[in-house]
């Protein structure tokens, strides 16, 4: 799919989207509709005070990720890893649909966009589905999602946490006394949103990952006022700069973990963050504004980041344990804080090595669980059974204190800056005997399952 519009058409064909024809308010009412829709995507045709529609929840369940990548759920992880093994560079094109309307300098007015206020105590309207595109002379382009708080017609605040690539790019520019050029792309091809969630090293070009996921290059065009390339088929692009050493209060904002971000005191409140000064806005004819519903799980951000995080963690653990079988981030762990990995254990200590790799990753895991390959890691009962029957916490657990956190509200219980992490090795020992798992003979169970209608129908007759 080349753009958001093609993806929305696919969602419609699969009955994964609903239309709201009644006029709706961008302040809270839109997000209330998204929440009420469950996993369905929502297209709001008429937004109060704007002639631009809003779409959201477009990644509201794993079915939508299947549609975006045209791959069934059972094959998603293996197919994702296979595709990104050969990256495809983007293709620079002279122009694209996102250039159909161009506004520069004083013509830029963010209020022309139906930017929503999502949760009750948010500090104001937020762009939360804008892919932030930045460029560094050494590391090249970087794409990621960051929340952006509107502060005026041409001004916004942006969250740039210390563990992010954005923070590094900003600091590198500011150390030279230069602003960081920045573009915000809204309403992009779905593979770009998936690629934006990859937690790779500096220098990894998410355009190349998106191209690999799609199987052909992502078309990009040069910005009007800055030296940054943006998706040619985006709906809306904002161009601007982050001025050196200019900080203002940003927030609060209801985050993916279901809490508002804490301020300096630890309670809900704003924090000082960099600002963006916008100097151009380009749009498609009759653009669509995209938002992401954020709040207490499960919300769409969880499903959007699930596959990239699973693949990233798979590669990390595989470096120390070659026979990794599966990786899963449970929804209750906000799609980031809790992770379960199954392995084929070959050597005593494999479970601990896997735990160490998981807890050291940049993803932000704070509870890591390792199980044997006979456990269905997507079945919480099976995982809990493994922990209950295959682990002794004094021998099979790891605690790491004083580690940086990734927007973790529980950090306020410590120093506000660090957290502790916990790992559980719920694998059976190799060197010593262990009781066998009890079950009926497999062939008998399969026979009964196959002939079940005969059992419940007596002789099989009606």
* pLDDT above 60: residue 130: yes
| Residues 6 or more apart whose Cβ sits within 8 Å of residue 456 | none
Same domain? For 242 and 98 the reply is: yes
Please report, for the domain that includes residue 199, its CATH number: 2.30.110.10
Same domain? For 265 and 393 the reply is: no
Please report, for the domain that includes residue 324, its CATH number: 3.40.1670.10
pLDDT in tens, 80-103: 999 999 999 999 999 999 999 999
**190 in any annotated domain:** yes
pLDDT in tens, 377-401: 999 999 999 999 999 999 999 999 9
Per-residue pLDDT averaged across 350-366, rounded? 93
Residue-level pLDDT at 200? 82
Q: What is the DSSP string of 141-177?
A: EEEEE--EEEEETTEEEE---TTSHHHHHHHHHHHTT
Same domain? For 129 and 264 the reply is: yes
Same domain? For 325 and 418 the reply is: yes
* pLDDT above 80: residue 406: no
**What angle separates helix 300-318 from helix 62-69, to the nearest 10 degrees?**
70
**40 in any annotated domain:** no
- In terms of Cα–Cα distance, which of 249, 329, 236 is closest to 282? 236
Number of domains present in the structure of the chain: 2
Same domain? For 262 and 337 the reply is: no
Same domain? For 184 and 258 the reply is: yes
Chain mean pLDDT for the chain: 93
The percent of residues in the chain predicted with pLDDT above 90, rounded, is 82
Same domain? For 355 and 279 the reply is: no
Distance CA 34, CA 54 (A): 11
Same domain? For 125 and 252 the reply is: yes
Q: Which helix (H) or strand (E) holds 50?
A: none
Per-residue pLDDT averaged across 225-241, rounded? 98
CA max distance for the chain: 85
**356 in any annotated domain:** yes
Q: Say if CB 68 and CB 191 are below 8 A apart.
A: yes
Q: Identify the band that residue 169 occupies on the pLDDT scale cut at 50, 70 and 90.
A: very high
The percent of residues in the chain predicted with pLDDT above 70, rounded, is 98
Beta bridge partners of 301: none
Residue whose tokens read 């006022």: 225
**189 in any annotated domain:** yes
Q: Identify the band that residue 425 occupies on the pLDDT scale cut at 50, 70 and 90.
A: very high
Token code pair at residue 21 = 């024809």
Q: Identify the band that residue 298 occupies on the pLDDT scale cut at 50, 70 and 90.
A: confident
Q: Which of 272, 290, 308 marks a domain boundary?
A: 290
Q: Identify the band that residue 462 occupies on the pLDDT scale cut at 50, 70 and 90.
A: very low
Q: What is the CA radius of gyration of the chain?
A: 24
Residue-level pLDDT at 431? 82
* pLDDT above 50: residue 448: yes
| Range picked from 314-323, 402-411, 415-424 for highest mean pLDDT | 314-323
End-to-end CA distance of the chain: 49
Residue-level pLDDT at 236? 98
Q: Is 324 exposed, middle or buried (0-12, 13-18, 19+ CB in 10 A)?
A: buried
**82 in any annotated domain:** no
Distance CA 95, CA 372 (A): 52
Q: Identify the band that residue 238 occupies on the pLDDT scale cut at 50, 70 and 90.
A: very high
Q: pTM of this prediction?
A: 0.89
Q: Identify the band that residue 410 occupies on the pLDDT scale cut at 50, 70 and 90.
A: confident
Q: Which helix (H) or strand (E) holds 316?
A: helix 300-318
**75 in any annotated domain:** no
**281 in any annotated domain:** yes
Cα 461–chain centre separation: 52
Is the model more confident about 334 or about 180? Answer: 180
Q: Say if CB 91 and CB 218 are below 8 A apart.
A: yes
Same domain? For 340 and 421 the reply is: yes
Same domain? For 183 and 119 the reply is: yes
**149 in any annotated domain:** yes
Q: Which helix (H) or strand (E) holds 403?
A: strand 397-404
Same domain? For 277 and 355 the reply is: no
Q: Is there a cis peptide before residue 31, judged by omega within 30 degrees of 0? A: no
Q: Which of 270, 290, 310 marks a domain boundary?
A: 290
Domain of residue 126, residue span: 88-290
Q: Identify the band that residue 405 occupies on the pLDDT scale cut at 50, 70 and 90.
A: confident
Residue-level pLDDT at 409? 83
Same domain? For 119 and 265 the reply is: yes
pLDDT in tens, 250-264: 999 998 888 887 776
Distance CA 307, CA 13 (A): 23
pLDDT in tens, 174-206: 999 999 999 999 999 999 999 999 988 889 999
């Amino acid at each position: 799919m080349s753009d958001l519009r093609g993806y929305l058409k696919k969602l419609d064909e699969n009955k994964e989207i609903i239309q709201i024809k009644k006029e709706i308010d961008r302040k809270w009412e839109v997000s209330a509709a998204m929440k009420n829709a469950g996993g369905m995507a929502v297209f709001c045709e008429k937004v109060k005070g704007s002639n631009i529609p809003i779409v959201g929840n477009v990644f509201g369940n794993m079915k939508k990720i299947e549609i975006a990548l045209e791959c069934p759920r059972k094959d998603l992880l293996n197919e994702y890893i296979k595709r990104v093994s050969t990256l495809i560079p983007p293709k620079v094109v002279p122009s694209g649909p996102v250039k159909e309307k161009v506004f520069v300098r004083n013509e830029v007015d963010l209020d022309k966009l139906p930017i929503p206020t999502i949760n009750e105590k948010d500090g104001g309207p937020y762009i939360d589905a804008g892919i932030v595109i930045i460029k560094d002379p050494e590391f090249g382009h970087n794409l990621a999602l960051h929340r952006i708080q509107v502060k005026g017609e041409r001004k916004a605040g942006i969250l740039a946490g210390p563990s992010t690539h954005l923070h590094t790019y900003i600091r590198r520019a500011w150390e030279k006394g230069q602003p960081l050029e920045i573009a915000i792309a809204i309403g992009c091809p779905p593979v770009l949103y998936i690629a934006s969630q990859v937690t790779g090293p500096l220098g990894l070009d998410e355009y190349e990952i998106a191209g690999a996921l799609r199987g052909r290059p992502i078309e990009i065009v040069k910005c009007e006022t800055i030296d940054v390339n943006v998706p040619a088929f985006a709906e809306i692009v904002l161009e601007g700069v982050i001025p050196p050493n200019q900080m203002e209060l940003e927030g609060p904002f209801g985050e993916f973990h279901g809490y508002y971000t804490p301020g300096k005191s630890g309670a809900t409140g704003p924090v000082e963050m960099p600002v963006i000064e916008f100097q151009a806005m380009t749009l498609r004819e009759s653009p669509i504004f995209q938002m992401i519903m954020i709040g207490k799980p499960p919300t769409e951000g969880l499903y959007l980041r699930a596959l990239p995080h699973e693949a990233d963690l798979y590669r990390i653990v595989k470096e120390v344990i070659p026979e990794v079988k599966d990786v899963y981030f449970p929804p209750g762990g906000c799609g980031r804080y809790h992770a379960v990995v199954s392995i084929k254990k070959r050597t005593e200590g494999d479970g601990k090595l896997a735990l160490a790799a998981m807890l050291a990753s940049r993803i932000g895991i704070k509870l890591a669980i390792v199980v044997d390959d006979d456990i269905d890691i997507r079945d919480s009962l099976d995982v809990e059974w493994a922990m209950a029957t295959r682990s002794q916490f004094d021998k099979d657990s790891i605690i790491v204190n004083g580690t940086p956190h990734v927007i973790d509200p529980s950090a306020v219980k410590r120093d506000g800056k660090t957290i502790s992490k916990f790992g559980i090795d719920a694998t059976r020992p190799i060197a010593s005997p262990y009781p066998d798992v009890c079950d009926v003979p497999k062939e008998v169970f399969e026979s009964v399952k196959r002939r079940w209608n005969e059992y419940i129908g007596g002789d099989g007759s009606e």
